DNA sequence: GGCTGTCGTAACGATAATAGTTACGGCAGA
DNA sequence: TCTGCCGTAACTATTATCGTTACGACAGCC
């Protein structure tokens, strides 16, 4: 499917900011988050910008600038993040209109659309069951060294 | 997610072959299927080749060559097709290894892997509930002209 | 045995999305 | 005024999908 890492990186950033704030810090910088995720600060700023548009984080400019959570980790779900950073549907239709003179070509798109809707609804329910609080919990529960 | 149309086109091809065979024909050619899907015959042959490797269809060469179902439409599910034509996982991890010296960087991948596994398992269950028989049924149930 | 139609597959180009990088203006607190 | 970081544009690299052309291989038929 040519899967991308946007959801993973966004969840990483949110968990990082959440933990950082619990350690008493006010704001997190894209540079520190990028160092943890081993990527470029611009990638983080772009993703966090989309999360800000969705109302999940806030940013301050000027001196002492950085990012902070707009909502508690426990009230943010992977579905919120998914909707914020993933634009399109899971499965695509034909790139060109099928032959409408053919019975299958005529009916295939309505049929698949209905089926895909059900499947995506199930996916969304599943994503909504996972909060970022749980993500951070799972992160912290990972043993420091493999046995 | 940069969704692709492979599952859609593969389902289209299977439904087309199934209906064609019910109309009394022996084998379907990639050219006819491609005409219905409004794409190139090579695209169809590539997809059907993957379905053949998965044991869903068979192909004959030589004169009177073409494609036929290896199993009944009712015994083929969208999960079978999905596994045949979609290689990777739904969500990707970081492209580079996160900072293992950071608590979040160290724990994020095991955490997300577990979460993604559960979600993909749910997706697979949902795909397994839809047979190609139902797809063809939905296709044929589509009204010829919108009211 | 040659003819014919289709598969099987390689090869190439077009398109698009993601991701990484550099650069730079703008903001706000010290 | 200085400083640190955001916000964003711009460019490149990489990758996957899709479309297309081309051609050898195969098998039934005349």
pLDDT tens for each residue of A63-104: 889 999 999 999 999 999 999 999 899 999 999 999 999 999
Contacts of B142 in chain A (CB under 8 A): 106-107, 110-111
pLDDT at A39: 98
How far is B110 from B121, CA to CA, in rounded Å? 17
The size of the A-B interface in CB pairs under 8 A is 194
Domain boundaries, chain A: 6-141
CB contact under 8 A, B1 and A1: yes
Side-chain-facing half-sphere of B2: CA atoms under 13 Å: 8
Q: How far is the CA of B40 from the C1' of C8 (A)?
A: 15
- Considering only alpha carbons, which residue of chain B is nearest residue A128? B119
pLDDT at B146: 55
> Mean pLDDT, to the nearest integer, of B26-50?
98
pLDDT at A21: 97
Enclosing H/E stretch for B58? strand B57-60
Nearest CA-CA partner of B139 in B3, B25, B36: B36
Sign of the Cα pseudo-torsion (A130, A10, B93, A16, in order): negative
pTM above 0.85, yes or no: yes
Angstroms from B73 CA to nearest CA on chain A: 14
Cβ atoms of residues A113 and B144 within 8 Å: no
Query: Which residue has better confidence, B138 or B88?
Result: B138
The answer, yes or no, to whether residue B118 has pLDDT greater than 80, is yes
Angstroms from A11 CA to nearest CA on chain B: 9
pLDDT at B110: 98
pLDDT confidence tier of residue B35, bands split at 50, 70 and 90? very high
The answer, yes or no, to whether residue B145 has pLDDT greater than 80, is no
> Mean pLDDT, to the nearest integer, of B17-40?
97
> Mean pLDDT, to the nearest integer, of A109-131?
98
Q: How far is CA A130 from CA A80, B58, B89, B145, in A?
A: 10, 42, 19, 43
Q: How far is the CA of A80 from the C1' of C21 (A)?
A: 29
**Residue B111 CB partners (closer than 8 Å, separation 6+):** A135, A138, A139, A141, A142
The answer, yes or no, to whether residue A146 has pLDDT greater than 70, is no
Four-way CATH pick for A6-141: 3.10.580.10, 1.10.10.10, 3.30.530.20, 1.10.490.10: 1.10.10.10
For B39-59, how does the pLDDT look when each residue is reduced to its tens digit (9 = 90+)? 999 999 999 999 999 999 999
Domain boundaries B6-87+130-141, corresponding CATH code:
1.10.10.10
B90 touches strand D (CB under 7 A): no
pLDDT at A18: 98
How far is A25 from B88, CA to CA, in rounded Å? 39
Nearest DNA or RNA nucleotide to A30 (CA to C1'): D5
Contacts of B91 in chain A (CB under 8 A): 3-5, 7-8
pLDDT confidence tier of residue A147, bands split at 50, 70 and 90? low
Nearest DNA or RNA nucleotide to A88 (CA to C1'): C17
pLDDT at B133: 98
CB contact under 8 A, B118 and A126: yes
For A10-62, how does the pLDDT look when each residue is reduced to its tens digit (9 = 90+)? 999 999 999 999 999 999 999 999 999 999 999 999 999 999 999 999 999 98
């Amino acid at each position: 499917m040519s899967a991308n890492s946007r959801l993973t990186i966004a969840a990483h950033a949110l968990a990082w900011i959440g933990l950082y704030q619990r350690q008493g810090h006010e704001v997190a910088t894209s540079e520190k988050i990028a160092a943890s995720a081993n990527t470029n600060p611009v990638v983080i700023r772009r993703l966090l910008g989309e999360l800000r548009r969705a109302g999940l984080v806030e940013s301050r400019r000027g001196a002492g600038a950085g990012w902070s959570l707009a909502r508690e980790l426990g009230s943010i779900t992977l579905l919120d993040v998914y909707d914020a950073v993933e634009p399109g549907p899971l499965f695509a239709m034909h790139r060109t209109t099928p032959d409408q003179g053919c019975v299958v070509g005529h009916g295939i798109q309505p049929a698949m659309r209905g089926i895909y809707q059900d499947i995506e609804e199930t996916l969304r329910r599943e994503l909504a069951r996972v909060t970022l609080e749980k993500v951070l919990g799972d992160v912290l529960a990972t043993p420091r060294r493999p046995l």
